[in-house]
Amino acid sequence: MTSGGWPVQSMTEACEVNPRLPKEHNLGEEDWVSFVPMAAVDEKEGRIADQQLRKFAEVRKGYTHFREGDVLFAKITPCMENGKAAIARKMESGVGFGSTEFHVLRPRAQVLPEWIYYFVRRQHFRMEAKRHFTGTAGQQRVPTSFIESARIPIPPLDEQRGIVDILSRADGIVHLRHEARKKATELIPALFLDMFGDPAANPKVWPTRPLGELVAFMSGGTPSKARKDFWTGDLPWVSPKDMKKVEIVDAIDHVSKSVLAETNIKLVPVGSLLIVVRGMILVHTVPVARSLAPITINQDMKALIPTSAVDARYLLWLMSVSQSHLLSMVSTAAHGTRKLDTERLKSLLIPLAPLDRQIAFAELAAQIQSVQSQQAAATQTAEATFKSLLAQVFCVS
């Protein structure tokens, strides 16, 4: 399944690029039409997830026009690199309007919309598009000239249909894998709430103790950037940008072990809880995680070292499901950044279920996490297979 032997055309031969709304459009000022802002395009699933309805009079000027079956391709960074593209489907009145940051590709008679869509969704195409960016940093865009000159193989329609069917099936498997992973991430919080109830409301009336009595607090810091030897080791130095998982074994940045001897930075014990206490991420999330390897942390974080009165895994998920309560404790520091005051955090009342029940929950959570790891591996395999198929199909010499 390769492009060998198929005629290769420019995109302008295969599509109309950014067609204009025709003068004879038969739309009245009060007619409802679809409206698609950039945020409505799901970059992972490649579809319009949340189209809106607006009166034609509201959108006829200042927006990009498209119609049923057109392919939308984000032109601006970082939306383009993230893969924002979709086929316009189920358009109200058959037409739509949307962000001016879309390129619109209208397939000609001999080309399926899906064929164009899969062509522009490829990572290779997006990398080439990025190489041709114009504009200043933060406002860089894919120029129309790049789209128009792109070369695309065009097999006969019957072959397009057969290949699109295969690609759609492979793409569908990837979507199912993502959906399964999403559902799996909801299992542990649901299990916690079922076993213990909402920590803020404490409906099961567990005895409570302040967090400061259950853990020891450890601060972090940043080694001197002037000391290059401090930054040549293999000891993970965890900062908020690493806090995208609930279990931390490594970090983007590393320091040498000499930091421990020559600065106030300490080694965080394995099994400690990590929490971000300063930064703009606290506007919407208070990241928490558990360390599974020896690490150090920066000054925007705290490590919480549990006593024997509480299981660290129980405490991790208790704080994970307490996001609303934690966010209510966040205040604004100098220069507008957000902070979670240590004293307020220490005073947070923690419902203490019996320790054996905490451990039973932690063991169930570990089993779920094992399934999640398997699902993550399966998702990576599905994505790799799909990318490989795209590369084979659209190999243009």
Tell me the CATH number at 128: 3.90.220.20
Average pLDDT over residues 304-320: 96
Q: Which domain holds residue 92?
A: 8-154
182 versus 274: the higher-pLDDT residue is 274
Report whether pLDDT(164) > 60: yes
Phi-psi domain of 238 (left: phi exceeds 0; alpha: psi -120 through 50; beta: other): beta
Is 331 in the same domain as 253? Answer: yes
Q: Which of 154, 186, 221 is the last residue of a domain?
A: 154
pLDDT band at 4 (very low <50, low <70, confident <90, very high): low
Average pLDDT value over all residues in the chain: 93
Is 267 in the same domain as 146? Answer: no
- Residues 100-138 have pLDDT tens digits of 999 999 999 999 999 999 999 998 999 999 999 999 877
Is 25 in the same domain as 113? Answer: yes
CA distance 2 to 395: 6
Is 265 in the same domain as 143? Answer: no
Report whether pLDDT(181) > 90: no
Average pLDDT over residues 217-222: 95
Report whether pLDDT(396) > 70: no
Average pLDDT over residues 15-32: 90
Residue 188, Cβ neighbours under 10 Å: how many?
Answer: 23
Average pLDDT over residues 140-147: 96
Q: Do residues 36 and 97 make contact, with C-beta atoms less than 8 angstroms apart?
A: yes
Q: Is residue 312 part of a domain?
A: yes
Is pTM beyond 0.75? Reply is: no
Q: Is residue 278 part of a domain?
A: yes
Q: Is residue 48 part of a domain?
A: yes
In this prediction, residue 198 carries a pLDDT of 95
Q: Which of 154, 174, 190 is the last residue of a domain?
A: 154
Is 141 in the same domain as 233? Answer: no
Report how far Cα 288 is from the mean position of its chain's Cα atoms: 17
pLDDT band at 212 (very low <50, low <70, confident <90, very high): very high
- Residues 273-296 have pLDDT tens digits of 999 999 999 999 999 999 999 999
Q: Is residue 143 part of a domain?
A: yes
Q: Which of 121, 154, 187 is the last residue of a domain?
A: 154
Average pLDDT over residues 53-70: 94
Q: Is residue 381 part of a domain?
A: no
Is 214 in the same domain as 298? Answer: yes
Is 144 in the same domain as 218? Answer: no
pLDDT band at 255 (very low <50, low <70, confident <90, very high): very high
CA distance 277 to 2: 52
Average pLDDT over residues 30-42: 93
Q: Is residue 377 part of a domain?
A: no
Give the H/E segment covering residue 120: helix 113-121
Domain total of the chain: 2
Q: Is residue 84 part of a domain?
A: yes
How far are the Cα atoms of 145, 151, 234, 387 from residue 125, in angstroms, in the given order? 14, 10, 36, 12
DSSP state of 163: H
